[in-house]
Homo-oligomer: A and B are copies of this chain.
Amino acid sequence: MERVPILKLGDILIVSIQIDLQDQGVLALQEDLADAVVEHRARGVIIDITAVEIVDSFIGRMLSTIASISRVLDAETIVVGMRPAVAITLVELGLSLGGVRTALNLEKGVALLHSRDGVDSDTVTR
């Protein structure tokens, strides 16, 4: 089973979703991310979905669940890189990414996390 790698940059974790995740893959990612948040004391999780062309309720639920898990571990989740077509589909399907914040791209996601209290922006560049 392929696992989605989790990158660490300062106190932010970055995940780039590129493969079609099935049930097992989603569970593994949720576990890996929860472990990584605790291990690295991460304050933010950024999930890049640039490569995701189709978002259905399964993916939507995954993103919401990851955000919920991160939240109870005191980390904020931001989804970045959503394609315009994906955004349109989400709205048309009535899917709301409950509890998930979004930003246009990785850069804006990092800026969003840095604008909050508690995240030490210095550690990202050192």
Contact = CB atoms under 8 A, between A and B. Distances in A.
B48 A5 contact: yes
Copies of this chain in the oligomer: 2
B81 A110 contact: no
Interface in A84-121: 105-107, 110-111, 114, 121
A73 interface: no
Interface residues of A, number: 26
A39 B35 CA distance: 36
B111 A121 contact: no
A48 B107 contact: no
Contacts of A48: 5, 7
Contact of A9 (B8, B106, B114): B106
Interface of A: 2-5, 7-10, 14, 16, 18-19, 48, 50-51, 81, 105-107, 110-111, 114, 121, 124-126
25 contacts: A2-B18, A2-B51, A4-B18, A4-B51, A5-B16, A5-B48, A5-B50, A5-B51, A5-B81, A7-B16, A7-B48, A7-B81, A7-B106, A8-B105, A8-B106, A8-B107, A9-B9, A10-B107, A18-B18, A110-B125, A111-B125, A114-B125, A124-B124, A124-B125, A125-B125
